[in-house]
Structure 1
Amino acid sequence: MSTSRKRARDADRTATCDVLDAAFAEGQLDGVEHRERTAAAIRARTVGELHDLVEDLQAAPRPGPPPPMPPERVHRRRPGRLLALLVVGVSLAVVVVGLSWQSERGAVRAGPSADPDDVPARVVGPVNLHSEEGWRRLVGDLQDSQGSALVHRVLLYPGYAVLELPVPGEPARSRSYTYRGGLGSSNSASSHDPQEPPVDLAAIDPRPLLALLAGVDRSVNVRDVTTRYLSLEDDGDGDGPVAAIHASNEFNESGYLSARPDGSIVGVWPYEPG
């Protein structure tokens, strides 16, 4: 069987979604393309389908089976050498801790007038963005670095988020960022429909949406969920922001629902067994 016809694993689908997120953040894909390809990646059955979704992207790693692990080798060290290595390890640990402390102490928090391209990533620990604490931290970091928590669109995964942020004074443009416990520098800009207003994350109580996200598996009839994420934007229809909450598993079963920030359901598209 050729590699392209091999069944895709959930790890392959996740890797492909990561590639698509990076391409979106870099400006290779616009918001519509990113949404369509991400949905296709979640539904993909074979490695070949996943290849097709990233084949035209620059420097896109190809999902596939991992290389074989080298055989485990046992090394016997003399006590003197082991002690020396232990001393070196402790010294390196002290240096790393010191550098991390200095980096976090010296992190620059740019104000609203700062160039968005010059905002450095902060040295911070991991955060669960599917929790209220993670949401509040994302909002706080946006306010600290950008002067507000306004976004044109946010894709919220457990460990990271992809953000489209407004460009001050230019309502027809946006900048893409990836947030991983700290906001990094933007390396792409794209056009934006000025009729679609930004969403103020600071004005949203995240608890209703996070509750829907936690129970989306039951809402859309998907068992053994391995991937779930939330997207939030205002499509300019006059009814305010709307979230799309997706769930899928390794059996290519997927579904999603849409809801307002207060938790009221707009629509449900459950998985329906063939």
Structure 2
Amino acid sequence: MRARDMDRVRARTLLDAAYEEGQLGADEYHDRSDRAGTAKTIGQLRGLVADLQAPAGVAAWSEPPAPNPRHRLGRYPHHIRARDEDRDLACRALDAALADGQLSSEEHQTLTALTAEAKTLGDLAGLTDDLQQPAPAPIDPRQRIRPRGAWFAAALIVVAVLAAVGGFQLTHHSAPPTPTAAPAAKAVQPLVIDTPDLTTAAGFDKFRTLYRTKFGDTVVDELTLFSDYASVQRTWRDQPNRVVDYTFRGGFALGGAVTTRDRTKPFFDLAAVNVAALGDLLTRAPALTKVEGGAVSHLGMEIDSSDDVPMIRIFVGNKFNESGFLEATPAGQLVRAYPFDN
């Protein structure tokens, strides 16, 4: 279920209080607080506060009610065709989710475009199932109007109390309170979070594991790996004629582009990549491309458009803008090298 801005604020408030009580050290606090600020789901926020005691004076973590996708579909099953009215309702839900921080502008743009292409109620449900629905604003009960006599009696009592307090202050003087020193602030150390280099064999292996966890498979249309982020294209749910962009920076986020895809195009399966052989190629790439002082800048994985076979390309560069690249199979067999030509 998607997290709203108010959910992130609640989680960070708990973390602030837990830090003040000593439940978290400085590094843990900053790590969790940063992750809470960028969390996409309620589950991610739950994981950041689940092991905390409820700090004094702060409400314990509670989750919003889970969405009910079946209720949203009404009495019709998923395969029933969607109307324009149904698409409009889905767009309104996406607009509300954008307004309260459940979606970024890029995600909203992508999902709105997919809503326009949705054919069935099931397609629409898949776009909004993880959204929290805005609750109606509570209506404050009207105050009961007191009789005029009751108001007059209450006013007399207030006047009498104020007069008594004023007289006491005129005849009694208390010593000013002794100032106390403010508690010393806790030293906050800067946090450095290590991220795997995705242009290494270990980095790719980690990415592949996270990708499988996120999407339930290992197929892509195209994948480009840089040292600290990745760009990936894959089909959207059960629509093989649509391809969607994702970016990866420790987690996956929808990009802003939705494009048409050739249904007959084969997929690149990341599971077919031999990690050990890939690591060997990455190590030898600077020498094979004859780039002096070079290092791997990025690598790409896709189906080669000329003969529809899976291809890995490893790009090498140096500070002089000299570059070359290798082409290899997922098994790690070198197909050809394109060395720097000076």
Q: TM-score range by the shorter chain?
A: 0.5 to 0.7
- Is 1:106 paired with 2:43? yes
* Map of 1:224 onto structure 2: 293
Q: CA deviation at 1:239?
A: 6.1
CA contact (8 A) 2:311 2:328 kept: yes
Identity of aligned residues (%): 25
Query: 5+ residue gaps in structure 2?
Result: 1-19, 48-124, 132-192
CA contact (8 A) 1:160 1:180 kept: yes
User: Aligned partner of 1:218: which letter?
Assistant: A
* Map of 1:246 onto structure 2: 315
Q: CA deviation at 1:185?
A: 2.8
CA contact (8 A) 2:272 2:331 kept: no
From 258, 269, 272, give the equivalent of 2:338: 269
Give the alignment of 1:1-274 within 5 angstroms: 95-99=29-33, 106-107=43-44, 115=127, 126-226=195-295, 228-235=297-304, 240-273=309-342
User: Aligned partner of 1:177: which letter?
Assistant: Y
Report SS of the residue matched to 1:185.
strand
CA contact (8 A) 1:150 1:166 kept: no
Q: CA deviation at 1:179?
A: 0.9
Q: CA deviation at 1:206?
A: 2.1
CA contact (8 A) 2:316 2:324 kept: yes
**Aligned equivalents of 1:100, 1:259: Cα separation in 2:** 39
Deviations 1:9-61 (A, max 9, x none): xxxxxxxxxxxxxxxxxxxxxxxxxxxxxxxxxxxxxxxxxxxxxxxxxxxxx
TM-score (norm 1): 0.55
**Aligned equivalents of 2:274, 2:238: Cα separation in 1:** 27
TM-score (norm 2): 0.45
Q: Which has the larger radius of gyration?
A: 2
Q: CA deviation at 1:163?
A: 0.5
Report SS of the residue matched to 2:292.
coil
**Aligned equivalents of 1:169, 1:224: Cα separation in 2:** 46
CA contact (8 A) 2:223 2:301 kept: yes
User: Aligned partner of 1:99: which letter?
Assistant: S
Question: Structure 1 130/252 Cα, relative in aligned 2: closer, same or farther at 3 Å?
Answer: closer
User: Aligned partner of 1:145: which letter?
Assistant: K
**Aligned equivalents of 2:340, 2:284: Cα separation in 1:** 14
CA contact (8 A) 2:289 2:326 kept: yes
Report SS of the residue matched to 1:242.
strand
* Map of 2:4 onto structure 1: none
Deviations 1:121-153 (A, max 9, x none): xxx851221333322221222222212121101
Question: Structure 1 176/116 Cα, relative in aligned 2: closer, same or farther at 3 Å?
Answer: farther
CA contact (8 A) 1:130 1:210 kept: no
**Aligned equivalents of 2:310, 2:253: Cα separation in 1:** 25
Deviates more, 1:216-225 or 1:181-190: 181-190
Report SS of the residue matched to 1:271.
coil
CA contact (8 A) 2:298 2:315 kept: yes
Q: CA deviation at 1:174?
A: 0.9
User: Aligned partner of 1:106: which letter?
Assistant: G
Deviations 1:181-211 (A, max 9, x none): 2212333212223332111212322221232
Deviates more, 1:260-269 or 1:232-241: 232-241
